[in-house]
Amino acid sequence: MLQSKRLYQEIGIKLRNELLSGRYAIGDRIPPERDIAEHYQVSRTVVREALIMLELENLIEVRKGSGVYVINLPGPQSGVSPQLSSSEEDDIGPFELLQARQFLESDIAAFAATQVTKNDIAQMRQALEMEKDILDSSGEDDDGDRQFHMLIAQATGNSILAEIIEQLWLRRKNSPMWSKLHTRITDTSYRQNWLEDHHKILAALQRKDPKAARQAMWQHLENVKEKLLELSDVEDPAFDGYLFESIPVAIVE
């Protein structure tokens, strides 16, 4: 069965075809994300991912505070095939990944709040101590962050849910698009905010409050998404991009 392309890949291919058509020359600045999003009737998160795809193909260059410029044109001279490579086909957009995590992990946190044990809470505290130590030493790894999220999934007692979350973290670790997004971000002080979010999630789990745990996890991943959008934006740092309302009532009730 043929697998349909992800939306960002479809937009990326359309943008690549515009380069191939001769609409732009090397050195030209392509339109702002907002204009591309309006033209193709998609969100700016999708456009951001499509541009990251073209960055990885070495067709465009992002210049902070200036915009996105053409540095190569598709064709034999650039080595860019008109078809997606197997690695491109398999990769996943960073905001698409956050979207999946937001839906799954908020409900997993609610479920974990009904099952969590004192030992689970103790292990989560240790994970947050690890995360704090890494931040205090200006470390860049995310071991404490990952471990905290994994422990929540494991606290449900459902091995399938824990396996799903582990696979999502592996997809993030191995994603060229996720790595490319972070090359635009030089100030990592925002990670302190994630630790504060994690403490709120832990407090809700310790109270065995499913509703509060769901809300805290949803808001945490909402904060991650909004901050990554803001920090990786080359044109409009004040852009208040979003995928969803913070906690859609229709989903919760």
Residues 57-77 have pLDDT tens digits of 999 988 877 888 999 988 755
For the chain, the maximum distance between any two Cα atoms, rounded to a whole number of angstroms, is 63
User: Looking at residue 76, what is its pLDDT?
Assistant: 55
Paired strand residues for 60: 70
Q: Specify the 3-state DSSP secondary structure of 80.
A: strand
Full-model pTM: 0.72
* Tens of pLDDT, residues 26-48: 999 999 888 999 999 998 888 98
Q: How far, in Å, are 50, 75, 233 from residue 93 at the CA level? A: 8, 24, 15
Which residues in the chain belong to E strands, given as ranges? 60-63, 67-70
Closest CA to 32 of 62, 55, 8: 62
Distances (CA, A) of 231 to 99, 162, 183: 18, 30, 10
